[in-house]
Amino acid sequence: MESSTRNLLILYAIVCFFAVAGVALNFISISNLKSIEDPELTREMAQGLTRGFYTIAFIYLVIALTSIGAILKRKYSKTLLILLTLLLISTFVFGSYIFEYFV
């Protein structure tokens, strides 16, 4: 059981680091957002999306670093795995609400 928990934590760390990279790429594309009709609205929308991306990237980074810390300290428990799983799932499920809140 301990090795499967360790393997899942390794998977979480890898997935979350790729997710942070994806968030960074999306941030770059949003920062290039331009509108001829209403530049003020475009700037506000880009700032809101940027804050949403920062929030989600921070959550993914916390999951990845927590997973790596647990692996390095060799203290992996079912509780930690359950909490990280819930955090990961809630970020996927409520990601659109995070963006709506900031935009």
pLDDT tens digits, one per residue of 22-35: 777 776 666 566 55
The answer to whether the predicted template modeling score (pTM) of the entire model surpasses 0.95 is no
Rg (CA), the chain: 17
Which residue in the block uniquely carries the two structure tokens 């499967």?
Answer: 4
- Rounded to a whole number of angstroms, the distance between the first and last alpha carbons of the chain is 43
Q: What is the mean pLDDT of the chain?
A: 72
pLDDT tens digits, one per residue of 36-63: 566 666 666 777 777 777 777 787 888 7
Residues 6 or more apart whose CB falls under 8 angstroms from that of 63 comprise: 12, 13, 16, 84, 87, 88
Query: Mean pLDDT throughout 88-98?
Result: 71
Strand ranges, E, within the chain: none
